[in-house]
Homo-oligomer: A and B are copies of this chain.
């Protein structure tokens, strides 16, 4: 147990829009970074734009044009982080620390040229490593990069998480700490399940399911990235002092609960094509036009048919429901199907946990809990670490609470 390690621990701190939403909050962030530095840690900070700023800028763009040129949208939106990084640098310098702000192109965060949803291809680390070696704290604008031709690019909403993880991977950080307005990842949404408990550890895979299913704590792409490069991620509150939730790779000696948490998604809609010929290639004939229209499909269920025909059901985001329905009517005529049905008052509830791989009976326990509350299951879909059901939206809270209780999640699943 050495008290003074020779090599400093290296952290990436990422603060979201709410955490830098005012001058007062920026000072609070500066204090937190200062405490890390005083403890002998090396810190690279990644910031989002001040809360509300991105919405303000998008509002201006929408006032100017209905169709917004993507290249110019990226120039516009990337001005938001420029403000927050400069202000935090000023606040740290005021406290006597050397600090230096970096825009995406200054770091050089190289991306492809897919404006508004660019992907990071490479991060130059020379300047960052030099700064850290010289006691300077780099403060990087999240969400933005530069393509090979020198155009500004952005990563889409939540992209600052991706910046933080990518930077952590590039500089070999010991941990990437995502400071947010919640104290960690919970077994269920605390607004629905009052006694939901905080998870101390989850795996990347679990977090991915929890994030993409609606526990809006971390951007899924960031989790994916962290998993791919093995960057330990921690979600914790920028307002309090808790240890938050560590997201890491599965370890053999980890005391693994069967189920980590219950996720849900409200904005779902379901479409069914009834009586389609049960022949090969039918799925792509149905989903092709949907995909061409850039509508994301989530769950897909096809039952074995009787008398040579079958029913084909899938879910889409609720905002895409009307358009998907129109497209399906065209497909119906084309395939000589019997009819189209749709329901945009459904929700998805999922049980997530790496432990369920090795445990039979998770599904039964989930379905029993729903049956006991007389909740009808409309669709079922399963993966290695997840079981999802679609139910009527009026049952959402009831279903989440019933399943949460059935798996005894109110007690912290991992004690430490």
**Interface membership of A79, Cβ < 8 A:** yes
**Interface membership of A299, Cβ < 8 A:** no
**Interface membership of A73, Cβ < 8 A:** yes
Q: Closest B residue to A49 by CB, please name it.
A: B79
The answer to whether residues A106 and B72 also contact, given A23-B64, A64-B87, A79-B82 and a CB cut-off of 8 A, is: no
Interchain CB contact under 8 A, B60 and A87: yes
**Interface membership of A83, Cβ < 8 A:** yes
Question: Which chain A residues (8-44) contact chain B, with CB distance < 8 Å?
Answer: 23, 26-27
Question: Which chain A residues (70-120) contact chain B, with CB distance < 8 Å?
Answer: 71-73, 75-76, 78-80, 82-83, 85-87, 89-91, 93-94, 100-101, 103, 105-106
Interchain CB contact under 8 A, A94 and B64: yes
A101 surroundings in chain B (CB, below 8 A): 71-72, 75
A103 surroundings in chain B (CB, below 8 A): 75, 152
Interchain CB contact under 8 A, B78 and A90: no
**Interface membership of A306, Cβ < 8 A:** no
A6 surroundings in chain B (CB, below 8 A): none
Give the size of the chain A interface in residues (CB under 8 angstroms).
38
Inter-chain CA distance A246–B78, complex, in Å, is: 38
A-side interface mostly: helix
A27 surroundings in chain B (CB, below 8 A): 64
Interchain CB contact under 8 A, B83 and A79: yes
A87 surroundings in chain B (CB, below 8 A): 60-61, 64, 72, 76
Interchain CB contact under 8 A, B90 and A68: yes
The contact of A67 among B63, B86, B94, B105, by CB within 8 Å, is B94
**Interface membership of A308, Cβ < 8 A:** no
What 1/0 flags go to A51-74 for Cβ under 8 Å of B? 000000100110111111101110
The contact of A105 among B72, B82, B93, B105, by CB within 8 Å, is B105
Interchain CB contact under 8 A, A65 and B83: no
A-to-B contact residues, CB < 8 Å: 23, 26-27, 57, 60-61, 63-69, 71-73, 75-76, 78-80, 82-83, 85-87, 89-91, 93-94, 100-101, 103, 105-106, 150, 152
**Top 10 A-B residue pairs of the complex, sorted by shortest distance between their CB atoms:** A76-B86, A79-B82, A65-B94, A75-B86, A23-B63, A79-B79, A72-B89, A72-B86, A69-B93, A64-B90
